[in-house]
């Protein structure tokens, strides 16, 4: 996303990352609201029933936000890797692998999103456990299946670019550096594993407020690392772009300050051309600067002996030189 603003070139995945970032902010607003209303890692027997209902309501929202954020970021990662590792117009194994993973993730998370919203009837029974009657789906099937398939998806996406990287024709040290850079997604797999463990604890717990807090924080850590993974490939270009922008601003400020003096705001010297202008054979219009008058300058007397015709050799050498000095 930073590369989109710096490099002035955007793709569809940049729009997905921007959308995921907006929903990520909404996710954190729900977390802060939980902290404000109830607090994190508070035991359920210390919680009023009204606060418990609010906790479950915000937990339901965070679960929906989590699904949308993860699917946007994973699709963005796969599209970004297609642009990096697949030449334009090529349809190789890696291209089709990424597309299969992309559509499977899209179908899977879309199904999860529908299932979460249809988990109970009436719909309000999802977060309000005081409602009598109705029915709910088994939460074990929903949370654990989502977590396990999400973990498998993270692991496959992590391994997908490694095969391409180690088949590149480049020095071993550079291959290892690139492989380690793209292997940072292993931390997403670790956080997804801890989220599965916390989800299992949450489903078996009678203290849902305390154990649900851990599940929410592990999910936030996983999403944060996904943002890091999706931004990692464009970070070097973005940093170089920021540096070039900073240098251009510095050069403009330096040029403007050198063109202006303290008294008159004008300069009595010719503007210097940049190295890029000197290297190219292109015409550049140079504005005329008003030069100061020479009146008021004193002549400097420099002793000089004019050679005479008797002792001068007019055939070779310098015949005559002229020197002058001015005093401002």
149: left (phi over 0), alpha (psi -120 to 50) or beta: alpha
Cβ contacts of 41 within 8 Å, gap of 6 or more: 210, 213, 214
Backbone angles phi, psi at 121, to 5 degrees: -135, 120
Cα separation, 213 vs 207, whole angstroms: 10
Continuous segment of H or E residues that includes residue 135? strand 135-136
Structure tokens at 85: 């590792």
The C-alpha angle 176, 179, 181, rounded to 5 degrees, equals 110
Helix (H, G, I), strand (E, B) or coil at 155: helix
Q: How far apart are the first and last CA of the chain?
A: 57
Structure tokens at 206: 């009678």
Query: If you ran DSSP here, which 8-state letter would residue 120 be given?
Result: E
pLDDT tens per residue, range 91-143: 888 999 999 999 999 999 999 899 888 888 888 998 888 888 888 887 777 77
Q: What is the pTM (predicted TM-score) of this model?
A: 0.70
Percent of the chain predicted with pLDDT > 70 = 69
Closest CA to 76 of 126, 16, 28: 16
DSSP bridge pairs for 120: 136
Comparing 15-29, 173-187, 287-301, which segment has the lowest mean pLDDT?
287-301
**DSSP labels, 22-36:** HHHHHHHHHHHHHHH
Q: What is the mean pLDDT of residues 148-165?
A: 88
Cα Rg of the chain, angstroms: 35
Structure tokens at 134: 């109705």
At residue 4 the predicted structure's pLDDT band, cuts being 50, 70 and 90, is low
- C-alpha distances in Å from residue 293, one per residue of 179, 280, 309: 67, 35, 38
Cα separation, 202 vs 142, whole angstroms: 13
Q: What is the mean pLDDT of residues 72-85?
A: 91
Percent of the chain predicted with pLDDT > 90 = 25
pLDDT tens per residue, range 10-46: 678 889 999 999 999 999 999 999 998 888 889 988 8
Cα separation, 150 vs 189, whole angstroms: 9
The C-alpha angle 43, 47, 50, rounded to 5 degrees, equals 145
Residue appearing with tokens 């999706």: 230
Closest CA to 61 of 173, 212, 187, 273: 212
Structure tokens at 55: 């906790």
Continuous segment of H or E residues that includes residue 265? none
What is the bridge-based pairing of β-strands 120-121 and 135-136?
A: antiparallel
Domain boundaries, the chain: 10-236
Helix (H, G, I), strand (E, B) or coil at 121: strand
Cβ contacts of 229 within 8 Å, gap of 6 or more: 73, 77, 184, 185, 188
- C-alpha distances in Å from residue 56, one per residue of 59, 70, 208: 5, 21, 9
Continuous segment of H or E residues that includes residue 182? helix 172-182
What burial letters (b/e) apply to 173-184, b meaning 16+ CB within 10 Å?
Answer: eebeebeeebee
Q: What is the mean pLDDT of residues 249-269?
A: 50
């Amino acid at each position: 996303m930073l590369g989109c603003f710096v490099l002035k070139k955007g793709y569809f995945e940049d729009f997905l990352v921007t959308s995921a970032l907006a929903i990520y902010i909404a996710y954190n607003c729900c977390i802060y609201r939980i902290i404000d209303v109830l607090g994190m890692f508070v035991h359920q027997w210390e919680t009023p029933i009204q606060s418990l209902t609010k906790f479950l309501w915000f937990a339901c929202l965070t679960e929906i936000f989590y699904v949308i954020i993860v699917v946007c970021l994973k699709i963005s990662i796969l599209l970004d890797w297609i642009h990096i590792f697949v030449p334009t117009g090529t349809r190789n194994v890696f291209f089709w692998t990424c597309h299969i993973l992309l559509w499977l993730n899209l179908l899977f998370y879309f199904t999860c999103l529908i299932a979460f919203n249809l988990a109970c009837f009436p719909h309000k029974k999802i977060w309000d456990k005081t409602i009598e009657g109705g029915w709910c789906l088994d939460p074990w099937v929903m949370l654990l299946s989502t977590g396990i398939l999400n973990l498998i998806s993270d692991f496959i996406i992590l391994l997908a670019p490694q095969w391409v990287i180690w088949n590149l024709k480049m020095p071993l040290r550079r291959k290892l550096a690139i492989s380690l850079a793209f292997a940072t997604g292993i931390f997403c797999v670790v956080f997804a594993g801890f989220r599965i463990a916390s989800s299992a604890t949450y489903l078996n717990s009678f203290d849902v407020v305390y154990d649900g807090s851990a599940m929410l924080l592990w999910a936030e850590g996983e999403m944060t690392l996904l943002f890091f993974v999706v931004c990692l490939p464009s970070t070097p270009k973005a940093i170089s772009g920021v540096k070039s922008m900073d240098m251009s601003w510095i050069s403009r400020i330096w040029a403007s300050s050198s063109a202006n003096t303290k008294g008159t705001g004008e300069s009595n010297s010719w503007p210097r051309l940049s190295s890029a202008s000197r290297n190219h054979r292109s015409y550049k219009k140079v504005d005329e600067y008003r030069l100061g008058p020479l009146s008021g300058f004193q002549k400097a007397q420099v002793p000089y002996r004019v050679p005479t015709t008797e002792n001068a050799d007019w055939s070779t050498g310098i015949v005559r030189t002229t020197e002058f000095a001015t005093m401002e």
